Structure 1
Amino acid sequence: MDAFRVGFVTGATPDKWARAWRERQRQPLELVPVTEEEQELRLRDLGLDMCLVRLPVDRDGLHLVPLYDEVPVVVVPRDHFVTAAPEVRLADLVDEQLVVPHPSGWTPDVDQLPWPPMSAQEAVEVVASGGGVAILPMSVARLHHRKDVESRPVTDLPPTKIGLAWLVARDDEQTQAFVGVVRGRTARSSRG
């Protein structure tokens, strides 16, 4: 029996759903880490049965169940002035270099250096070196945490969202069984 393949974007944590699946289903489950850049492609090329995605994604031909919001945080060097407060606003960051673009389109008021594309981990390394700041989902910042950086919630940025996506054409019994697990249905409850 082939494994049911569920992708998960960096920072998403599918563990509790994987445990529930393994308790209820005979079909093996394979968890596959994916980047934001490849999350949708891997669904559409049939490399994954489902994927925990970071929105937005192109909804054409996809079912999507929104799951939860992620708090945006700014990652700064440990001795940065924003570490004196428990949270920050964008106005506190207007004079900063942003090392990776933020999905909201927000940029600081100062001229920005043309940073090459980089992963979240590389961005945190640049921040640690004093090259700028990064705004990331809290889960991603925690994943790449280092002793020489700190993070603070940014209160006036909208949260990012995690959802469960799958192809409309792939809406079968196994897919609905995983949706049930994610939605908290018990092994005895029906799909109603």
Structure 2
Amino acid sequence: MTGSEESPSFRLAYVPGVTPSKWVRIWNERLPDVPLTLHAMSVGEAFDALRGGDADAGLLRLPVDGTDLSAIPLYAETTVVVVPKDHVVAAVDEVSAEDLADDIVLHPLDDTLDWERLPGRPAIERPATTADAVDLVAAGVGLLVVPQSIARLHHRKDLTYRPVTDAPESRVALSWPEDRTTDLVEDFIGIVRGRTVNSSRGRSQPPAEPKAARSPDKAAPRRKPAAGKASGGRSPRPGSGTAKGAKGGKAAGAKRGKPRRGRS
């Protein structure tokens, strides 16, 4: 770890469509004395915040701009096309990029999908933001291809979306300045990677408690020998009398049957 100082709180930037609530909940459980503050930002603002020291880490979309930021990929999202509900695409379960060839497909300036070749026909002008592009889709100007979480974020009753099978995926990553990998950053890395609180790489793990020595009073009780087997001999048969009478196989004076009546 290269960071020598830690901020009193952990500042996490995140871009539209990313939901950090699960990781924030785990942070609050493990580090209740270190508040985590969330900062919703655009993609450009998030990069500036990391480089300017206004955020300790950020949940961004790949690719990460520049070599001064470290990044750990977390998950990939399905890519969908946003269309009006009365569009022909709304009648199918999924489409390919070729299916959009005759449509105008909007390409906003803040698009983060890594296209080799954009589908559809280009619009006369690129919308400034994804939100602007969604408004144009609702107005019937064109279609919009975005990560599924973005489509959900800008949900409207008059719009729907369908998966695009051969479109590039959007990958979400945790990023932070390479020269400020603080202990708190390491803690958050452990959380997003699913490490347990007792992980050997976790900084905030509690010390392991030594195993308590077994108390002599709680030692396992010694097994008692079975009756008649202490000396290695066989146990007497039921009804064989006392130990002295058992030697001959029949107790002395023992008679079988009913006792006779005495004569008068």
Decide: shared fold, TM above 0.5.
yes
| Structure 1 residue runs without a partner (length 5+) | none
Counterpart check, 1:13 vs 2:19: yes
96-105 or 51-60: which moved more?
A: 96-105
Larger relative strand fraction: 1
1:110 deviates by 3.5
Q: How do 1:87-166 residues align onto structure 2 when only pairs under 5 Å count?
A: 87-101=94-108, 103=113, 104-110=115-121, 112-117=123-128, 119-166=129-176
What do residues 135-183 of structure 1 show as CA deviations (whole Å, max 9, x unaligned)? Answer: 1100010011101001001000120100000011111211100101111
Equivalent-residue separation in structure 2 for 1:181 and 1:108 (angstroms): 38
Instruction: Report if the CA contact (8 A) 1:97-1:113 is conserved.
Output: no
Equivalent-residue separation in structure 1 for 2:70 and 2:120 (angstroms): 38
- Sequence identity percentage: 43
1:42 aligned partner, one-letter code: A
1:40 aligned partner, one-letter code: F
Name which structure has the greater RCO, CA cutoff 8 Å, separation 6+: 1
Equivalent-residue separation in structure 2 for 1:167 and 1:111 (angstroms): 36
127-136 or 102-111: which moved more?
A: 102-111
Q: 1:109 to 1:137 in 2, by over 3 A?
A: closer
Larger relative helix fraction: 1
Equivalent-residue separation in structure 1 for 2:148 and 2:121 (angstroms): 25
Count of equivalent residues: 191
Equivalent-residue separation in structure 2 for 1:190 and 1:150 (angstroms): 46
Tell me the equivalent position of 1:51. 58
Instruction: Report if the CA contact (8 A) 2:64-2:71 is conserved.
Output: no
Instruction: Report if the CA contact (8 A) 1:95-1:108 is conserved.
Output: no
Instruction: Report if the CA contact (8 A) 2:95-2:162 is conserved.
Output: yes
What do residues 1-30 of structure 1 show as CA deviations (whole Å, max 9, x unaligned)? Answer: 732100111101100000000011121000
1:113 deviates by 1.6
- Give the TM-score normalised by structure 2: 0.69
Equivalent-residue separation in structure 2 for 1:14 and 1:127 (angstroms): 28
Tell me the equivalent position of 1:24. 30
* Secondary structure of 2:106 counterpart: coil
Equivalent-residue separation in structure 2 for 1:35 and 1:134 (angstroms): 18
Q: 1:169 to 1:82 in 2, by over 3 A?
A: same
Tell me the equivalent position of 1:68. 75
1:81 aligned partner, one-letter code: V
| Structure 2 residue runs without a partner (length 5+) | 1-6, 203-264
Counterpart check, 1:181 vs 2:163: no
**Looking at CA atoms only, which structure, 1 or 2, has the larger radius of gyration?**
2
